[in-house]
């Protein structure tokens, strides 16, 4: 069981990137065009042995507004709008696959949102079958979809299962009714349990449940009841996200009253309790906010130092090129990030003109590549071998990262990291604060060039 005293770590509760990319998305710019992206696509497909493919599809529509939501979503009940969007996503598939080496294998597929199950079962089957026909999927491909149990039917899940999906991720946040009302997400426990029953009946390989702490009216005692129920449900993976109150980025968060949010010390108590309950309940603490059963691929990847991090969070399928479809979706190739247009109109106009719908992006320079490698090693391996970095990039590690290594001295004293002559190891409690540790290797933070406004780390 994982036990710790979080009170001494309150000083680390400050804004910081989640490092689903490096550099982070605020550094993307509009000077990066679809031509820049297309050049990188062509270059990466010329290789004799191109990387595998990871595919992400952004399905932005939701039926109702959850006040805590930080995603790129659109509230609509207009079915024609959804149908039009599906047709344009298919256009994007047709356009992009012309440039892809047809021998490339898909090892990972993810549908996120929004709410992918806002699509009806027929629309799910139509789009999923189109994707399966358009790409070459490996037999062991990990195909996951986010669902909302509110409005979900057995037929929604059946359509997913019959079209290659083998993993489901579902938001629960909190079973407490007062909390649910305060964030406008009424999700009775019974419908969550019904969805779990259907998922298991249909034989999906894995279930992930998302919880969220820091929501209005949450207390340590009330959230403990939710955590205990989740352990009884026994999903394969659990994420315990920190609610990021960022009304300057998401205007609808102004609908949550600041005075109703738990105080920082209560949030720390909740995080401590949830971490201890989940680890004593048989889950491995992966890092940051992720937990998994010991036999889950994520826990195995942690032990084998094969964890990977991308825009969907922690993953087990490293080394794949990520191609993302739909508005706001972000692709990641070896040297670039490319984000699609954020508005349907711009996205549709680009595709009507037979252009890849890139709105902005970023090409990594050599410093970015060195720092991305180091940041991701910290975030995923929770360890760094300085000699390995020196040999790979021909640098003097201690000189190159002098600023960050000096900053780590306090973290060593606080037992978040262990620092040796040629290595760094993140301790178990340090994994909760791994974002703070990784920030010491972020060149934009070091040079005070970081332009992002981020959520707090705890």
Domain membership of residue 332 (yes or no) is: no
At 3, is the pLDDT very low, low, confident or very high (cuts 50, 70, 90)? Answer: low
Ranges of beta strands (E only) in 14-104 are: 53-59, 61-62, 74-75
Same domain, 291 and 379: no
At 451 the three-state DSSP class reads: coil
Query: For all residues of the chain together, what is the average pLDDT?
Result: 94
CATH number of the domain that 406 lies in? 1.10.10.920
How far is Cα 278 from Cα 231, in angstroms, rounded to an integer?
A: 7
Which pTM value belongs to this model? 0.94
Same domain, 388 and 316: no
Structure tokens at 267: 């949030």
Asked if residues 395 and 401 have their Cβ atoms less than 8 Å apart, the reply is: no
Same domain, 108 and 187: yes
pLDDT at position 4 is: 65
Query: Once rounded to an integer, what is the mean pLDDT over residues 404-427?
Result: 95
How far is Cα 244 from Cα 250, in angstroms, rounded to an integer?
A: 10
- Kindly report, residue by residue over 362-387, the tens digit of the pLDDT: 999 999 999 999 999 999 999 999 99
Same domain, 87 and 176: yes
Domain membership of residue 233 (yes or no) is: yes
Q: Which residue, among 358, 439, 436, 360, has the nearest Cα to 403 in the 3D structure?
A: 439
Say which residue, 327 or 50, is predicted with more confidence.
327
Domain membership of residue 16 (yes or no) is: no
How far is Cα 164 from Cα 218, in angstroms, rounded to an integer?
A: 38
How far is Cα 307 from Cα 9, in angstroms, rounded to an integer?
A: 26
List, in sequence order, the alpha helices (H) in 135-236: 154-162, 177-182, 189-201, 220-233
Same domain, 263 and 411: no
- Pick the last residue of a domain from 324, 351, 381: 324
Lowest mean pLDDT among 69-78, 101-110, 117-126, 158-167: 69-78
CA angle, residues 70, 75, 76, in degrees to nearest 5: 160
- Pick the last residue of a domain from 274, 296, 324: 324
How many domains is the chain partitioned into structurally? 2
Same domain, 134 and 214: yes
Same domain, 391 and 270: no
Q: Does an H or E element contain 339, and which?
A: strand 336-340
Domain membership of residue 4 (yes or no) is: no
Residue 209 neighbours by CB under 8 Å, 6+ apart: 169, 170, 171, 172, 230, 233, 235, 237, 238, 239
Query: Once rounded to an integer, what is the mean pLDDT over residues 382-395?
Result: 97
Same domain, 411 and 270: no
How far is Cα 19 from Cα 36, in angstroms, rounded to an integer?
A: 23
Query: Once rounded to an integer, what is the mean pLDDT over residues 337-356?
Result: 98
DSSP-derived letter for residue 15 is B
Tokens 């993976």 belong to which residue?
237
Query: Once rounded to an integer, what is the mean pLDDT over residues 303-312?
Result: 87
Asked if residues 371 and 24 have their Cβ atoms less than 8 Å apart, the reply is: no
Q: Quick one: what percent of the chain has pLDDT higher than 70?
A: 98
Asked if residues 148 and 115 have their Cβ atoms less than 8 Å apart, the reply is: yes
Same domain, 92 and 156: yes
pLDDT at 1 exceeding the cut of 70: no
154-162 helix and 189-201 helix, angle to the nearest 10 degrees: 30
Domain membership of residue 234 (yes or no) is: yes
pLDDT at position 211 is: 98
Domain membership of residue 374 (yes or no) is: yes
Same domain, 136 and 277: yes
- Pick the last residue of a domain from 324, 346, 376: 324
Query: Once rounded to an integer, what is the mean pLDDT over residues 190-196?
Result: 98
pLDDT at 71 exceeding the cut of 90: no
Enclosing domain of residue 105 = 23-324
Same domain, 255 and 372: no
Q: Which residue, among 345, 380, 346, has the nearest Cα to 360 in the 3D structure?
A: 346
Q: Does an H or E element contain 213, and which?
A: strand 206-213
pLDDT at 451 exceeding the cut of 70: no
Handedness of CA 439, 442, 444, 447 (dihedral sign): positive
Asked if residues 6 and 12 have their Cβ atoms less than 8 Å apart, the reply is: no
At 10, is the pLDDT very low, low, confident or very high (cuts 50, 70, 90)? Answer: confident
Structure tokens at 84: 């039009």
CATH number of the domain that 236 lies in? 3.80.30.20
* 362 beta partners: 337
Whole-angstrom Cα Rg for the chain: 22
Domain membership of residue 356 (yes or no) is: no
Domain membership of residue 458 (yes or no) is: no
Same domain, 59 and 111: yes
């Amino acid at each position: 069981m994982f036990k710790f005293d979080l009170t001494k770590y309150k000083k680390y509760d400050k804004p910081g990137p989640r490092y689903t990319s490096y550099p982070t998305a605020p550094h993307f710019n509009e000077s990066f065009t679809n031509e820049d992206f297309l050049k990188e696509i062509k270059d990466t497909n010329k290789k004799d042995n191109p990387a595998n493919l990871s595919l992400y599809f952004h399905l932005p529509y939701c039926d109702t507004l959850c006040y805590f939501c930080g995603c790129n979503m659109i509230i609509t009940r207009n079915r024609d709008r959804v149908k039009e969007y599906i047709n344009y996503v298919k256009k994007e598939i047709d356009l992009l696959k012309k440039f892809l080496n047809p021998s490339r294998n898909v090892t990972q597929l993810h549908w996120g949102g929004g709410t992918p199950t806002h699509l009806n079962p027929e629309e799910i089957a139509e789009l999923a079958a189109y994707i399966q026909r358009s790409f070459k999927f490996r037999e062991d491909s990990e195909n996951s979809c986010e669902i909302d149990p509110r409005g979900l039917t057995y037929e929604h899940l059946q359509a997913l299962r019959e079209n290659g999906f083998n993993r489901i991720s579902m938001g629960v946040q909190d079973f407490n009714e007062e909390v649910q009302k305060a964030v406008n997400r009424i999700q009775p426990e019974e419908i969550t349990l019904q969805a779990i029953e259907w998922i298991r009946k249909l034989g999906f390989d894995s279930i992930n449940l998302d919880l969220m702490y820091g929501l209005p009216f949450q207390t340590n005692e009330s959230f403990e009841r939710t955590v205990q129920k989740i352990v009884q449900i026994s999903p394969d993976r659990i994420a315990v996200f920190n609610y990021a109150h960022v009304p300057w980025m998401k205007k609808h968060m102004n609908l949550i009253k600041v005075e109703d949010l738990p105080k920082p010390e209560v949030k720390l108590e909740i995080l401590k309790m949830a971490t201890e309950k989940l680890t004593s309940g048989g889950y491995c603490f992966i890092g940051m906010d992720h937990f998994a059963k010991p036999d889950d691929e994520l826990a195995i990847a942690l032990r084998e130092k094969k964890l990977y991090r991308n825009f969907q969070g922690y993953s087990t399928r490293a080394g794949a090129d990520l191609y993302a479809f739909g508005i706001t979706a972000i692709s990641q190739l070896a040297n670039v990030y490319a984000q699609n247009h954020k508005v349907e109109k711009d996205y549709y106009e680009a595709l009507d003109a037979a252009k890849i719908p890139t709105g902005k992006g970023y090409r990594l320079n050599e410093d970015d590549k060195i720092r991305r490698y180091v940041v991701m090693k910290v975030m995923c391996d929770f360890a760094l071998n300085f000699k390995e970095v020196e040999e790979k990039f021909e640098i003097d590690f201690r000189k190159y990262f002098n600023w960050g290594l000096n900053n780590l001295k306090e973290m060593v004293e606080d037992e978040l990291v262990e620092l040796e002559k040629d290595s760094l190891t993140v301790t178990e409690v340090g994994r909760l604060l791994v974002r703070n540790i990784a920030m010491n290797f972020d060149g934009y933070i070091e040079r005070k060039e970081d332009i992002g406004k981020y959520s707090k780390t705890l």
